[in-house]
Structure 1
Amino acid sequence: MRSSAPVEHGSRFRDVCAALPAAVCVVTGTGPQGLYGATVSSMCSVSLDPLIVLVCLDNRSSTLAAIVRSGSFAINALHAGQDAIASRFASRVDGAAKYQGVPHRIQDGVPVLDDALGWFVCEVAEVHRSGDHTILTGLVHAVGGGDGEPLLWHRRTFRGLAPEDPSS
């Protein structure tokens, strides 16, 4: 249904989007200067056959440029309690500094965070510029994960899932 009022830009749009919880992920890759990484809250599965995921990165991101150049990346879903890692990878600090003290390994040419809740190693399938972000789709070549609760971004703060009510 279409509203007769014009769409409000800026703060109202951001407020509505902030009300929707999103999983927090770190997208990682390699480039000419070494390791790159950025925190995102826009990741989802696209296809089961073949296995495809998508992620959105800011057009100004050096991580985006490195991934497009190299043709591969990893998506690392963070678990509750990894707020500091999410904040570090969201900062403008250079790539190598973001990884200091963060256990990781190189798998299929890209960094994978050892303590991630789950991870996907991908080959870039498609690149779509859309406004101030770029949508990357990736063919998944490897996937792994562990137990735990996801780190969420909701109302502009990191959160975990609410504990289940044992009486329900």
Structure 2
Amino acid sequence: MSPTTGRGGPTTAEYLDAARTFPTGVTVVATRYRDGTPAKTVSAFASLSLDPLLIAVAIGRHSPLVWAARASGVLSVNVLRHDQQEVADHYARPERDRPQPPPAGLVREHTGAPVLDDCLSWFDCRLVTVVPGGDHSLLIGQVVGVRSGNGPPLVHHAGRYHGLGPAAQQPLLPHRV
């Protein structure tokens, strides 16, 4: 019997405590919109299908990135390396609070969606659909281009960034938003 039996389910705090135990990779999701490149640090990313090649990312439903991706029909998911905490912090901030220039350059690939020119890997996608999911939207993209490199990823766990492997046993600084 769970400790929430009879209380109507877990509280938000209990849910977050449990969710923080799951380590995730750290990505920057980007799209194009008019002359801009809306982008955001996102840890809710998954490979969804091999036939066709699909990915999924969950983004707060009120994020400008959601409507910009709908308008442009394209998005990219950029997987960060263990040494790219500065990039993650940059895109975790609201756009108006981001210092310029960004810590990593963006280039356009197959779809015209901006991808980080220096990251562990990227997925260039055409937006297939946007599915509502509570306070988030699930963006599903068909992958039309990829690039992958070598090295350990940046990982987020329990409110901190981490690296993987023997040289990365200590957690990095807490992320700053």
The 3-state SS of whatever aligns with 1:19 is: coil
Can you give the 5+ residue segments of structure 1 that lack an aligned partner in the other structure? Answer: none
Aligned to 2:91: 89
Note the 1:8-157 alignment, pairs <5 A: 8-94=10-96, 100-108=102-110, 109-157=112-160
If each structure's strand is expressed as a fraction of its own residues, which one has the higher value? 1
CA distance in 2, matches of 1:131, 1:97: 31
Unaligned 5+ segments in structure 2 are 168-177
Post-superposition shift, 1:4? Answer: 3.1
**TM-score, normalization: structure 1?**
0.90
CA positional deviation for 1:95: 9.7
Shift of 1:83: 0.7
Which whole-Å deviations, capped at 9, do the CAs of 1:131-157 have from their partners, x for residues lacking one?
A: 110001110000111001010110001
The alignment yields a C-alpha RMSD, in angstroms, of 2.1
CA displacement, residues 96-136 of structure 1 (integer Å, 9 cap, x when unaligned): 86763412211131111011111000011111011110001
* Cα distance change on mapping 1:145 and 1:51 into 2, 3 Å: same
- CA distance, structure 2, for counterparts of residue 64 and residue 41 of structure 1: 15
Residue 162 of structure 1, CA deviation? 3.5
| Percent identical residues | 32
Decide which moves more: 136-145 or 102-111: 102-111
The normalised TM-score by structure 2 is 0.85
CA offsets per residue over residues 68-108 of structure 1, 9 Å max, x none? 11000000000101111101101112498676341221113
CA distance in 1, matches of 2:28, 2:146: 15
Q: Distance in 2 between matches of 1:23 and 1:158?
A: 9
